[in-house]
Structure 1
Amino acid sequence: MEKFIDNLPAMDLMRSEKMTFVQLIIPVESAHRAISYLGELGLLQFRDLNADKSPFQRTFVNQVKRCAEMSRKLRFFRDQISKAGLLSSVHPVLQPDVELEELEIQLAEHEHELIEMNSNSDRLQHSYNELLEFKIVLQKASGFLVSSNSRAVPEERELDENVYSNDDYGDSVSLLEQDIRPGPSDQSGLSFVSGIICKSKALRFERMLFRATRGNMLFNQASADEQIMDPLSTEMVEKTVFVVFFSGLQAKTKILKICEAFGANCYPVPEDITKQRQITREVSSRLAELEATLDAGIRHRNKALTSVGFHLAKWMNMVRREKAVYDTLNMLNFDVTKKCLVGEGWCPIFAKTKIQEALQRATFDSNSQVGIIFHVMDAIESPPTYFRTNRFTMLQDIKKPILLFTLVLLFHFFCGDVWGLGSWNLLVAGALILIARESKLSAQKLGSFMEMLFGGRYVLLLMSLFSIYCGLIYNEFFSVPFHIFGGSAYKCRDTACSEAYTIGLIKYRDPYPFGVDPSWRGSRSELPFLNSLKMKMSILLGVAQMNLGILLSYFNARFFSSSIDIRYQFVPQVIFLNSLFGYLSLLIVIKWCTGSQADLYHVMIYMFLSPTDDLDHFVAFGSNRSSMDALSKTFYFEEASYGGTVRFQGRAYGMLGTSEMDLDVEPDSARQHHEEFNFSEVFVHQMIHSIEFVLGAVSNTASYLRLWALSLAHSELSTVFYEKVLLLAWGYDNFVIRLIGLAVFAFATAFILLMMETLSAFLHALRLHWVEYQNKFYYGDGYKFKPFSFASITEDED
């Protein structure tokens, strides 16, 4: 067995890469290029040697600020391009063709030009909006002024009565002089203010005017024909043109202040119709000129933005890379001569050659007279774990995603009997669509829900296929059995019996070849039979998976050369688990094969309460004595904890060097942590671990019974939807009722069974996989390997 295992190929997918701690001594003139080449390689994780310094106290803080300022300008260009509705070219993989200093000058010039164009455009647009409002006021207010001339004298008399009936205003409010306005108002003594206001404020505006003037005004309004842009807010709003007739200077002052408070724009409108027409023509001409000027400015601005957008992605990528380089350089320290930078970090052992080649290229390309020193060092801290797809890792622990099929295996026991071959075909189709469009969807920015589905597309496919397989085992298609593998093994004994699945059944041929016999469907024994079947299958599956987890712990202990963990942890755990629950699994299989009527509850309970009693008709299960012997050995092994653990076996103390240069040792020496042995601490730890495993073996096995409970509950739910909704509606000879029943059944299938129940079953399966299974072998107390890599830089770091 040992020879067979040793001859197995290297399992790169099973364990993380071996890591080594390295030190770099880089001349200043080649530091930038060296870090850039290492970023392209993406295989070295730097340590921050300046963790005690704030970001503003580091060496290259000015360069980082320059990159941040350039990022701000590039974001400004991107927002302007998006606002203009233009598309920027995507060239993220192209190498930059300009230096950082030259790019900084170009960005400053483009920003100054764009800001100036935006300022001119805003000023012209403001003038255009004001003239447009003036034109609308001229068109709408002219009608009010024409009709007011005929009512001038009665209105003046009414205003005079209102004015002099108020004692508070008798002294202060006086009529306008005759020479204030020419034309008809010379005779009436009335004045007016015309303007435009947002339609939503018109009612409150009128009330405020009425209260401020004590009713001594006439308010006329007319809505604009279309939405116009407000000159101040630059938003498209509905507006109303108003003309307020009043008498007195004090009333005019109040009205103008109210207009200013409500954001109303006032425009002078002459009473003479000829002057109105002349001003209207001048305004229209001015509007046409401004419109042409604005169009020319927009074309020029779009041309400049298009030119910037062609290089925008490349420039943003360059600035991100430069900022990342200087951030990494800030993690390095100067040596005592201030001529070299010293860096430390982790890298995989296989990457040492690639890193050295990249450093040699950097030395050659920068024309440096001094080479970069690269050597391996010893490290006390634990190395990172190099798993690209693993977020919770431990150094060289067995990689849990390699056994992901166990998760979907548990899932299909939850859900396979719910929809069987029916609704799960829909989920298979959905998963296949996501996989077929993988390249297209991966390049898009998806929403949170869609991104979650896309990330789990392969898991969805596997869960669907496994559930269809389990649907065949349970022989259910939307809770309906089918005879895909032939007829039932039972037939009616009496030709007069009307129900061949309730009474009078006899077995007349071999058992159903695959899955549950369809004759169980609808019988009085259906629920007890399926209860017993699913409960026993849950126990068998749980014990098998827990044994698999313990077996993986053996491979972990063997990999770390820990015979102590094998003898005093792996062996006792196997004996304990299988002497109790392995024995129970054996009884289940024997009962299935022999057709025994023995009560397994009685056997397991009295194995502990009365181990010496005669089992009588349970004699086929009389091997409990040997299991008790094994059980006693288990407690002996578990509690006789040996003072040592896997992580410290075979490690020795070594003489410390006189300097850091003397620490250049073999890569594996980084794993040799020197910690003082403490018997009481190790004993307590092992005792807690032993008690935890003994109690956990019982609770974990009981947790697997949720496979039976949820599977049965989901099956009943599916049956209710089929019989009480679909069949009940189909029993009516009414098209509308049938359509409603079909819609309710489809809704229940899609949203309750396919979505809610799928999520519930997945969470339960994940819990069994994470707790009951992985706690046997998986520790996950490491940290992820995060190398300095340009490929990992995202837009969020701008």
Structure 2
Amino acid sequence: MARRLRFFKEQMSKAAILTSPTQFSGASLEIGDLEIKLGEFEAELTEVNTNNRKLQRTYNELVEYNVLLEKTGEFFYSAQRSAAEQQREMVADQSGDSSLESPLLHQEMVIDPSKQVKLGSLIGLVPKQKAMAFERILYRATRGNMLLRQESVDESIIDPQSGEKAVKNSFVIFYSGERAKSKILKICDAFGANRYPFPEDLATQLQTIQKVSGKVSELKATVEIGLAHRDGILKNIACEYEEWNNLLKKEKAIYHTLNMFSLDVTKKCLVAEGWSPVFATSQVQDALHRATTGSNSEVGCIFQILNTQESPPTYFQTNKFTSSFQDIVDAYGIASYQELNPGLFTIVTFPFLFAVMFGDWGHGICIFLTALYLIIREKKLASQKLDDIVEIMFGGRYVILIMSLFSIYTGLIYNEFFSVPFELFGKSAYACHDPSCGDATTEGLVMVGQTYPFGVDPVWHGSRSELPFLNSLKMKMSILLGIAQMNLGIVLSFFNAKYFKNTVNVWYQFVPQLIFLNSLFGYLSLLIIIKWCTGSKADLYHIMIYMFLSPTDDIGENQLFPGQRIVQVW
């Protein structure tokens, strides 16, 4: 049945007939009745297509024959008229002096008709791109003992064999002898030349042309009626195609599910084993009860909870807001059964870390408007078929919304609107009192007001100190946030180990990870915070490098707190 529906779909696509929207009729159609109905439509459509192909091929042959008769008829008519004129000239020459221009062979044949030679002829059509090779092969095969006349057909015509349009040449071949005829026929077949009969008598030619023209008109009307009948069948199929397709999908889904059941031969029943969330137990029982009632079954379904030592699969209950964040976590790895779900923390950490990288409140507003549009039209967009990029954006619309809000927040902290600063929270706390200072330098600036109440002071943007100042701020803040998130992951592993009462993971995984991480990067984070608080000029790169290369050397001007060298050695 699926094959038949695909066949109908192909036929409707060729005929440019669209399927109607799904409109379920009140009467329910059984799968057995559907199979009979599809079989009848397939048989009828196959028969109509077969007849249409035969009629179309005959019609194409007649069109070719009609074109050929017109072209060849003109040639024979002009040739016969020329021969008649020559014959009259020969008769006139015999009564007087012979003309020097009269052919001697023709004179001899007129004088002695027994010496006339009967020539055979073949007419047909050959593809124009093969015409030169066709003529060359004929000449070589017959050793020049033939006469070929070709003429181009103005319009492209449909080839009866292939059913495709082609540009062709009409040809007439005159030959002598059966042996030459046999060679010519084989060459015509090799070059795909279509041959047709042609009467030699002029009166018979005119009758044939009229007869073929009449048949072309009649057959054209017959072909159009056949195509209209086929379109009528396809339109009837298109009205119910979606309903049939949905019914077949449901039936295939049922059989696919039944194939996963095991057969109990002794009790003559099907047994299915699976996993279900505890909160859904009553829902499963209600669904089984509805299925039993709806199918009018005399025997009900038995639902029984099994005790097993196997580890259940992980299931996290999500909604349209949390599903996208859970998919991000699942793309990296799915937590084991009853492990702590990191997707909960990702709702905050993922969009915030994005905002740290792309902190620009102008950029954030653009993303916010895009996400808001997808959310407002989510019902309409969910029912449509979207392309790959739009579908990814629509699936993560709530993720994009939270990222945009955080991006606006961090953009206000960075004081960047498409990389342009604004005095949103008051004027700058610095003013230029030195004539040597300009727009591109912060030297000579004096603090004249209170510290900027929120975010970065706009005076830093466009100055020579902008790059070192903002890069230092953003990079050091990124280090602090990254180390905090790594520590969060280690702490979550502790709670997992504690829940499963796994002391080995606590002492030999959680504790070493916590010590190694914070002895290096945690210590670096501590130095960053102390440097921010004290305003020290210490070089943190120098401190971290020589902490390993020369741990016992004097720190000197890079000391941030008393006893720093001892702490670093420890």
CA shift in 2, pair 1:491/1:274, >3 Å: farther
**Cα offset, 1:218, TM superposition:** 2.6
CA shift in 2, pair 1:626/1:357, >3 Å: farther
For 2:251 and 2:563, locate their aligned partners in 1 and report how far apart those are by CA, in whole Å: 73
For 2:293 and 2:376, locate their aligned partners in 1 and report how far apart those are by CA, in whole Å: 46
Counterpart residue number, 1:526: 466
Counterpart secondary structure, 1:197? strand
Alignment of 1:280-319 (within 5 A): 280-319=209-248
1:705-758 deviations in whole A, cap 9, x for unaligned?
Answer: xxxxxxxxxxxxxxxxxxxxxxxxxxxxxxxxxxxxxxxxxxxxxxxxxxxxxx
For 2:405 and 2:141, locate their aligned partners in 1 and report how far apart those are by CA, in whole Å: 78
Are the aligned partners of 2:439 and 2:462 in contact in 1 as well (CA < 8 Å)? no
**Cα offset, 1:134, TM superposition:** 1.6
1:214-262 deviations in whole A, cap 9, x for unaligned?
Answer: 444333121342x433322223x23213113332234433332222222
Larger Rg, first or second structure (1 or 2): 2
Matched, 1:490 2:421: no
Counterpart residue number, 1:377: 306
For 1:275 and 1:196, locate their aligned partners in 2 and report how far apart those are by CA, in whole Å: 21
Counterpart of 2:448 (choices 508, 523, 532) is 508
Counterpart residue number, 1:135: 66
Counterpart secondary structure, 2:257? helix
Counterpart of 2:175 (choices 228, 232, 247) is 247
Counterpart secondary structure, 1:219? strand
For 2:215 and 2:312, locate their aligned partners in 1 and report how far apart those are by CA, in whole Å: 74
CA shift in 2, pair 1:296/1:611, >3 Å: same
Counterpart residue number, 1:205: 134
Counterpart secondary structure, 1:234? coil
Worse-matched range after superposition: 319-328 or 445-454: 445-454
Alignment of 1:295-444 (within 5 A): 295-337=224-266, 339-366=268-295, 368-387=297-316, 389=323, 390=327, 391=330, 392-393=333-334, 394-402=336-344, 403-416=346-359, 420=360, 438-444=378-384
Matched, 1:105 2:36: yes
Q: Give, as a single letter, the amino acid of the residue that structure 1 aligns with 2:352.
A: L
CA shift in 2, pair 1:257/1:619, >3 Å: closer
Counterpart secondary structure, 1:374? coil
1:282-314 deviations in whole A, cap 9, x for unaligned?
Answer: 223222322222222223222222222222222
Matched, 1:80 2:20: no
Are the aligned partners of 1:427 and 1:461 in contact in 2 as well (CA < 8 Å)? yes
**Cα offset, 1:536, TM superposition:** 1.0
Counterpart secondary structure, 1:232? coil
For 2:389 and 2:133, locate their aligned partners in 1 and report how far apart those are by CA, in whole Å: 45
Counterpart residue number, 1:26: none
**Cα offset, 1:542, TM superposition:** 0.8
| TM-score of the pair, normalised by structure 1 | 0.58
Q: Give, as a single letter, the amino acid of the residue that structure 1 aligns with 2:354.
A: F
Counterpart residue number, 1:114: 45
Are the aligned partners of 1:598 and 1:618 in contact in 2 as well (CA < 8 Å)? yes
CA shift in 2, pair 1:358/1:415, >3 Å: closer
1:540-573 deviations in whole A, cap 9, x for unaligned?
Answer: 1211221222333344345546566556654554
Matched, 1:588 2:531: no
Q: Give, as a single letter, the amino acid of the residue that structure 2 aligns with 1:133.
A: E
Q: Give, as a single letter, the amino acid of the residue that structure 2 aligns with 1:246.
A: F
1:497-525 deviations in whole A, cap 9, x for unaligned?
Answer: 55562643333333444444444344433
Are the aligned partners of 1:488 and 1:512 in contact in 2 as well (CA < 8 Å)? yes
Counterpart residue number, 1:219: 149
Counterpart residue number, 2:98: none
Aligned residues: 527
Matched, 1:264 2:207: no
Alignment of 1:557-706 (within 5 A): 557=497, 559-560=499-500, 565=505, 569-570=509-510, 573-574=513-514, 576-605=516-545, 620-622=560-562, 624=564
Alignment of 1:466-485 (within 5 A): 466-467=406-407, 469-477=409-417, 479-485=419-425
Counterpart residue number, 1:229: 158
For 2:188 and 2:369, locate their aligned partners in 1 and report how far apart those are by CA, in whole Å: 64
For 2:493 and 2:412, locate their aligned partners in 1 and report how far apart those are by CA, in whole Å: 34
CA shift in 2, pair 1:432/1:232, >3 Å: farther
Are the aligned partners of 2:437 and 2:445 in contact in 1 as well (CA < 8 Å)? no
Worse-matched range after superposition: 270-279 or 237-246: 270-279
Are the aligned partners of 1:194 and 1:268 in contact in 2 as well (CA < 8 Å)? yes
Counterpart residue number, 1:685: none
**Cα offset, 1:327, TM superposition:** 3.2
Counterpart residue number, 1:774: none
Are the aligned partners of 2:72 and 2:172 in contact in 1 as well (CA < 8 Å)? no
Counterpart of 1:278 (choices 207, 217, 225) is 207
For 1:605 and 1:534, locate their aligned partners in 2 and report how far apart those are by CA, in whole Å: 21
For 2:147 and 2:157, locate their aligned partners in 1 and report how far apart those are by CA, in whole Å: 28
Q: Give, as a single letter, the amino acid of the residue that structure 1 aligns with 2:152.
A: A
Q: Give, as a single letter, the amino acid of the residue that structure 2 aligns with 1:118.
A: N
The gaps in structure 2 that reach 5 residues or longer are 86-108, 110-114
**Cα offset, 1:153, TM superposition:** 11
**Cα offset, 1:627, TM superposition:** 5.8
The gaps in structure 1 that reach 5 residues or longer are 1-69, 155-177, 179-185, 632-798
CA shift in 2, pair 1:128/1:494, >3 Å: same
Are the aligned partners of 2:527 and 2:560 in contact in 1 as well (CA < 8 Å)? no
Counterpart secondary structure, 2:272? strand
Counterpart residue number, 2:89: none
Are the aligned partners of 1:153 and 1:188 in contact in 2 as well (CA < 8 Å)? no
For 1:272 and 1:426, locate their aligned partners in 2 and report how far apart those are by CA, in whole Å: 84
Are the aligned partners of 1:217 and 1:247 in contact in 2 as well (CA < 8 Å)? yes
For 2:193 and 2:348, locate their aligned partners in 1 and report how far apart those are by CA, in whole Å: 70
Are the aligned partners of 1:198 and 1:264 in contact in 2 as well (CA < 8 Å)? yes
**Cα offset, 1:474, TM superposition:** 3.9
CA shift in 2, pair 1:266/1:476, >3 Å: farther
For 1:297 and 1:134, locate their aligned partners in 2 and report how far apart those are by CA, in whole Å: 22
For 1:400 and 1:187, locate their aligned partners in 2 and report how far apart those are by CA, in whole Å: 105
Counterpart secondary structure, 1:242? strand
For 1:574 and 1:581, locate their aligned partners in 2 and report how far apart those are by CA, in whole Å: 11
1:86-128 deviations in whole A, cap 9, x for unaligned?
Answer: 1223438889812222222222222111111111111111111
CA shift in 2, pair 1:483/1:200, >3 Å: farther
Are the aligned partners of 1:217 and 1:246 in contact in 2 as well (CA < 8 Å)? yes
For 1:622 and 1:452, locate their aligned partners in 2 and report how far apart those are by CA, in whole Å: 54
**Cα offset, 1:443, TM superposition:** 3.8
Counterpart of 1:238 (choices 143, 162, 166) is 166
Report the RMSD for the aligned CA atoms in angstroms. Answer: 3.8
Are the aligned partners of 2:5 and 2:245 in contact in 1 as well (CA < 8 Å)? yes
Counterpart secondary structure, 1:211? helix
Q: Give, as a single letter, the amino acid of the residue that structure 2 aligns with 1:588.
A: I
For 2:187 and 2:405, locate their aligned partners in 1 and report how far apart those are by CA, in whole Å: 73
